[in-house]
Amino acid sequence: MSPCPIPSTAISPAARKHVDPESPPPVRLMAARGMIPMGPKDMITVLVCLNYDEDDKIAKSSTKSLAELPERILQGGLAENLHPLVLDHMARVFSDNEGHLEAILLNQQTSDETYAFLADKVSERLLGIIVDNQVRILRHPPIAQAILDNPGVLKSTVDNLMDFAVRTGMSFRGLDAFEEAKGRISSEPRDVQEETRIQQVVFESLPEDMLLEEEDDDPASAEEHEKKKRNILQRLHTMTPGQKIVLAQKGNKAVRMTLIRDANKVVAVAAIKNPGISESEIVGVATSRAVADDVIRIICNNREWIRSYAVKLALVQNPKTPIAFSMRFLQVVRSPDLKKLAQSKNIPSTLASAAKKILSRRSGGHR
C-alpha cells in the first residue's frame, strides 16, 4: 500500500492520531470502522486516509465504512472545505451517485483534474455545471476534451463549448464543431460586453503566482533563476494566446520579461505596455536583439522612457532600432560613449560614421 498522499493538516489536530501510522492498530481500526465520534469533514478525511493504511484489515474496514456513511454525513462533509485529494477520492468512490457528484462539483476545493475525470462520465445535468465553469476549462484544457468525449453530450453543449474555445484562443483543429464555431463567431457583430466578460474569465484562469510581483532583492542563484525561467516557459506553453496576452498585460516581472520576447507580436506588445514595467526592465529590453521591431518602436515613441539616458543609449547600441531614432538619440550621447559607438562593429556603419562626425564637431568646438 502506498503512503497516504493527503497531508495530516487536512485533519483536525484531535483526530490526527487515528490516521498516524505510529498509533496502535486498534486505535486506527476503531476509526476505520467509524466508531470514533467526529464531524463530517474529519470523518470523511480520516476514512479516506485509512484507505492507504498498510494494515489490510484497517484499509478494507475504512473502504466499507466510507461506502456506508449516512447520507447526512456525506452531504454535509462534501460541502465542507475538504482537501482536493479527498474530494478526488470521493468522486471515484461515488462515481455513480449523482447527488454526491453534484456536491463535489460545486465544492470550490475540487481540483481541475477531478473535473476532467468526471467530465466524460456524468449526466447532461451535471455536465452543465462543468461546462458553465469556464475558468476551470481554460485553466485545464483536458476538461474540454473530456466534455467532448462524454457519450451523452448534447450538440448545443458542444456548440457553446466551441464558441468559448474560439473566443479564448483554445484550439480544436480538425473538429467540425470548432470550424463551425469560427465561422459563426466571425459573422456575428462585435459584442463588447461579451468580450469584457471573456477577458475577465481569462484573467481568473491565470495562476496567481505569475501575477504577484516578487521581491527585487530575492537572492536566487543562477541555477535557481534558470530553473524558474524553464518553469515559466513550460507553463506558458500550455496557455492560449488569449491567456498570454492578458498575462503579458498583468503578469509579474519574470513573466513579462519572458513574454516580451514571445514570437506572437500581439503578446510582446502587450508585455511592453504592462503598467508594472520598470525603467531598468526597459533598458534591458531596449538592449535586446531578441525582441520584435514593434516593441523597439514603442519604446522609441514613449516620451517618458526616452527621458532616461540609459534607455536612449541602449536604443542607439541596438541595431534593431530604426535608424531615424538612433540618429536623433545619438545627438545626446555623452562623448565617452560616443567614442565606443564610433568604433563599434555592432551598429550600422552609418551610425558609427555619424558618431565620429559628432565627436569631431565636439572636439573642434572645444579648441
Provide the residue-wise pLDDT of the chain in tens; the chain has 367 residues: 578 999 999 999 999 999 999 999 999 999 999 999 999 999 999 999 999 999 999 999 999 999 999 999 999 999 999 999 999 999 999 999 999 999 999 999 999 999 999 999 999 999 999 999 999 999 999 999 999 999 999 999 999 999 999 999 999 988 999 999 999 999 989 889 999 999 999 999 999 889 888 765 455 667 777 887 888 888 898 899 999 999 999 999 999 999 999 999 999 999 999 999 999 999 999 999 999 999 999 999 999 999 999 999 999 999 999 999 999 999 999 999 999 999 999 999 999 999 999 998 888 755 4
Distances, alpha carbon 68 to alpha carbons 51, 61, 126, 317, in Å: 14, 11, 23, 74
What pTM does this model have?
0.80
Closest CA to 321 of 283, 347, 354, 282: 347
Distances, alpha carbon 335 to alpha carbons 190, 276, 361, in Å: 54, 33, 11
Q: Which residue has the cell 476509526?
A: 31
Alpha-carbon torsion, ordered 28, 29, 30, 36, to 10 deg: 50
Q: Which residue has the cell 485553466?
A: 139
Residue 66: all three cell numbers together: 466510507
Report the C-alpha gap between 65 and 57 in whole angstroms: 12
Q: According to the model, what pLDDT value does residue 336 have?
A: 94
DSSP-assigned letters across all residues of 62-122 = HHHHHHT--HHHHHHHHTS---HHHHHHHHHHTTT-HHHHHHHHH-TTS-HHHHHHHHTTS
